[in-house]
Structure 1
Amino acid sequence: MKITDVKTYIVGNEWKNWVFTHVETDEGITGLGEATLNGFAKTVEMAIHELKRFVIGEDPFDVEKLSLRMFRDYFTDGGQIQGAAISGIDYALWDVMGKKLNLPVYKLLGGKCHDNLRAYANGWYQSSRTPEGFYNDAKEVVDAGYTALKFDPFGTAWRVVERKEFNYALEIIEAVRDAVGNDADILIEGHNRFSVHTALQFAQEMKQFNPTWFEAPVPPQKVSSMVEIAKRSPVPIACGEDYHSREQFAELMSHDAVHIIQLEPQYMGITAAKQVAGMAHAHNAVIAPHSAQGPLCSIVCGHLNTASPNFYLHEIFDDFNKDWTQEILTNNVEVMDGHIQFPDGPGWGTELNVDLVEEHPYSQNHFLPLFREGWEKREGLK
């Protein structure tokens, strides 16, 4: 079997254009991939077409060689853009392998370690940024069966905040805790917002509400800052979604300070992601992969989590997207009683609805502007 072409499709989802790929083969088997990266849909699409020279004519089963070639052989670090483009092709290669062998991908990744994958809700807070708004939205989430939910209570904060805004963020956290009770997990999203000192002040004050983790409290570029936070914070720190290489995770985990690893398969491909999950396992860490992209990414994370003994929690946006997005793939992740079920057919067990792609075209305003008022409503730019 040989790879003959790589095609791309962009779906104009309001809050983030989704990028999908098809890897075609000379046996007629087509693999589905995803390469979504917030505001860089067109850029990543072009990167995919520049990378595909490394895979056309090759055997799709040679994922280690092809993944390395796409990462190494440009001799240029393209960061998340290159990583997302690699992912778009790499995912599709695993789909081809699964279809050829008539096996779901998790069987190829090592088999089933877990019968159930506990999920946490994200993207659920789309009403007013008030304690009352968060309280009401959180009640709906737990009433739907979720036992864990994540949220960013910090508005448009960046690095430092005024005391009034500091206290207001804590009021929102308190409102969510009151809404969900003491038995549910609340996960606080930092979105790389703060200085070390501000993050530590928030960590100390939020401890009273017993959050399960404080995620990405400082920018990811300086690993030393994240390590300092993790060692001093009374709340466990989770991070990793911004990294696009094994080496970055190796540096992070070498300090033995962060033990909740949120690798982003979308930025490195499933081939490398499985290795990072193993690296975390060796450091007595658990994984909670970032899954805030399109619906295929959610399925991919389901396969990775199922095959990883150190899986912790699975992130879900799908339940809180527009209704039409449920039709963009033929099969989707479903949530029942706070746990996910994903397609169990060959490969990823799903296909792209190409006809629906044409009904939802790309828009340059479809991205998440995290430092603008109202970003949490996920309406893109107007």
Structure 2
Amino acid sequence: MKIIDVHTHILGNPWKNWLFVQVETDEGLTGLGEGTLNGFAKTVEAAIHELKHLVIGMDPFDVETISLRLFRDVYSDGGQIQGSALAAIETACWDIMGKALNQPVYKLLGGRCHDKLRCYANGWYRGPSTPENFHEKATAVVAKGYTALKFDPFGAAWRTVEKRDFNLALENIAAVREAVGPDVDILIEGHNRFSVHTALQFAEAMMPSNPTWFEAPVPPLRVSSMVEVARRSPVPVACGEDYYSREQFAELLKHDAVHIIQLEPQFLGISASKQISGMVHAHNGVTAPHSAQGPVCSVVCAHLNMATPNFYMHEIFDEFNEPWEENVLLPGMKVENGYLQPPEGPGLGVELNLEEVGKHPYHVGNWLPLFRSGWEKRERMV
């Protein structure tokens, strides 16, 4: 079997253009992948088409060599853009492998490690950054059966915050805790916002609400800053979604300070994601992969998580996105009472509905400006 072409499709979701890839083979099997990257859909699409000549004619089963060609052989560090292009093509190859062998991808990654995947809700808090909105929306989330939910209570904060905004963020966190009760995990999203001292001030101040983790409290590029916060914070730190290589995770893990690792299969590909999960396992850590790009990313994470012994929680955006999203993939994944099963069909177990994709064209305003007031509404910004 040989790869003969790579096709791309962009769907205009109001808060992030989704980029899908279909890899075509000479035996008629087609694989599905995703290369979504906030604000860079057209850029990643161009990278895919610029790099695809490197994999045309290759056997889709040779995913390790395909990854080397798309990253090492280019001899340039294209960061998340190059990682997204690589992952989109490599994921599609795993989909082809599963179809050729008539097995779901998680079976190829080591098989079933869990009866079901515990999910946490994200994207549920659209609307104003007020305690009233957070309380109302959190109440609705737990009514759906979720036992964990994540949210960013910090508005458009960056590095430091005024006392009024500091107190409002704490009120938002307390409102969620009051809404969900003592037994639900609340996960605080930092979105790389703060300086070390601001992050530590928040970590101390949010403790009365008993959060399960404080995610990405400082920017990721200075590992030393993340390690300092993790060692001094009373709330466990989670991070990793920004990294796109094994080496970055090796640098983070060697400090034994962060033990909740949120690798991003969208930047790494499935092969590297499985290997990094093993690295985390060796450090007595757990994985909670980032699954907030698009619907194919969520399916990929479901397969990876099912085959990962040290999996912790699965992120769910899909149920809180636009109502038409359930038509983008056929069949769609369904969360039942806060838990999820990966698709059991061969490969990823889903196909792209091109008719639905065609209804939602690309728009330059479809992105998430996390440091602009009103981003929480997740509406088109231009």
CA RMSD of aligned residues (A): 0.7
Which residue matches 2:57?
A: 57
Which residue matches 1:159?
A: 159
Which residue matches 1:227?
A: 227
Shift of 1:380: 2.6
Question: How many angstroms apart in 2 are the aligned matches of 1:250 and 1:310?
Answer: 17
Counterpart secondary structure, 1:33: strand
Question: How many angstroms apart in 2 are the aligned matches of 1:27 and 1:68?
Answer: 24
CA contact (8 A) 1:334 1:342 kept: no
Counterpart secondary structure, 1:334: coil
Question: How many angstroms apart in 2 are the aligned matches of 1:352 and 1:340?
Answer: 20
Letter in 2 for 1:15: W
Shift of 1:375: 0.5
Letter in 2 for 1:279: M
Residues 156-215 of structure 1 deviation map (CA, whole Å, 9 limit, x = unaligned)? 000000111101100000000000000000000000000000000000011111100000
Question: How many angstroms apart in 1 are the aligned matches of 2:357 and 2:90?
Answer: 21
Which residue matches 1:337?
A: 337
Residues 203-250 of structure 1 deviation map (CA, whole Å, 9 limit, x = unaligned)? 001111110000000000000000000000000000000000000000
CA contact (8 A) 2:118 2:314 kept: yes
Shift of 1:127: 2.4
Shift of 1:59: 0.5
Which residue matches 1:347?
A: 347
Equivalent residues in 2 for 1:117-196, closer than 5 Å: 117-196=117-196
Shift of 1:16: 0.3
Letter in 1 for 2:343: P
Question: How many angstroms apart in 2 are the aligned matches of 1:197 and 1:323?
Answer: 40
Which residue matches 2:271?
A: 271
Residues 240-263 of structure 1 deviation map (CA, whole Å, 9 limit, x = unaligned)? 000000000000000000000000
Question: How many angstroms apart in 2 are the aligned matches of 1:301 and 1:215?
Answer: 18
Shift of 1:98: 0.2
Question: How many angstroms apart in 2 are the aligned matches of 1:203 and 1:323?
Answer: 35
Shift of 1:341: 2.4
Which residue matches 1:40?
A: 40
Residues 92-118 of structure 1 deviation map (CA, whole Å, 9 limit, x = unaligned)? 000000000000000000100011100
Which residue matches 2:113?
A: 113
Counterpart secondary structure, 1:17: strand
TM-score by length of 2: 0.99
Counterpart secondary structure, 1:69: helix
Question: How many angstroms apart in 1 are the aligned matches of 2:138 and 2:100?
Answer: 43
Question: How many angstroms apart in 1 are the aligned matches of 2:307 and 2:210?
Answer: 30
List gaps (5 residues or longer) in structure 2.
none
Question: How many angstroms apart in 2 are the aligned matches of 1:356 and 1:340?
Answer: 24
CA contact (8 A) 2:33 2:90 kept: yes
Which residue matches 1:284?
A: 284
CA contact (8 A) 2:306 2:342 kept: no
Equivalent residues in 2 for 1:197-276, closer than 5 Å: 197-276=197-276
Which residue matches 1:17?
A: 17
CA contact (8 A) 1:113 1:307 kept: yes
Shift of 1:377: 1.1
Letter in 2 for 1:199: A
CA contact (8 A) 1:299 1:332 kept: no
CA contact (8 A) 1:240 1:264 kept: yes
CA contact (8 A) 1:116 1:340 kept: yes
Shift of 1:290: 0.2
Question: How many angstroms apart in 1 are the aligned matches of 2:34 and 2:108?
Answer: 19
Question: How many angstroms apart in 1 are the aligned matches of 2:254 and 2:340?
Answer: 32
Shift of 1:334: 1.0
Residues 121-167 of structure 1 deviation map (CA, whole Å, 9 limit, x = unaligned)? 00000122110110000000001100000000000000000111101
Letter in 2 for 1:117: L
List gaps (5 residues or longer) in structure 1.
none
Which residue matches 1:71?
A: 71
Question: How many angstroms apart in 2 are the aligned matches of 1:97 and 1:54?
Answer: 19
Shift of 1:342: 2.9
Letter in 2 for 1:64: E
CA contact (8 A) 1:187 1:214 kept: yes
Question: How many angstroms apart in 2 are the aligned matches of 1:208 and 1:29?
Answer: 54
Question: How many angstroms apart in 2 are the aligned matches of 1:312 and 1:357?
Answer: 32
Question: How many angstroms apart in 2 are the aligned matches of 1:184 and 1:80?
Answer: 33
**Identical pairs, percent:** 69
CA contact (8 A) 1:332 1:342 kept: no
Question: How many angstroms apart in 2 are the aligned matches of 1:359 and 1:289?
Answer: 30
Question: How many angstroms apart in 2 are the aligned matches of 1:74 and 1:171?
Answer: 49
Letter in 1 for 2:24: E
Question: How many angstroms apart in 2 are the aligned matches of 1:106 and 1:262?
Answer: 19
Which residue matches 2:301?
A: 301
Shift of 1:323: 1.2
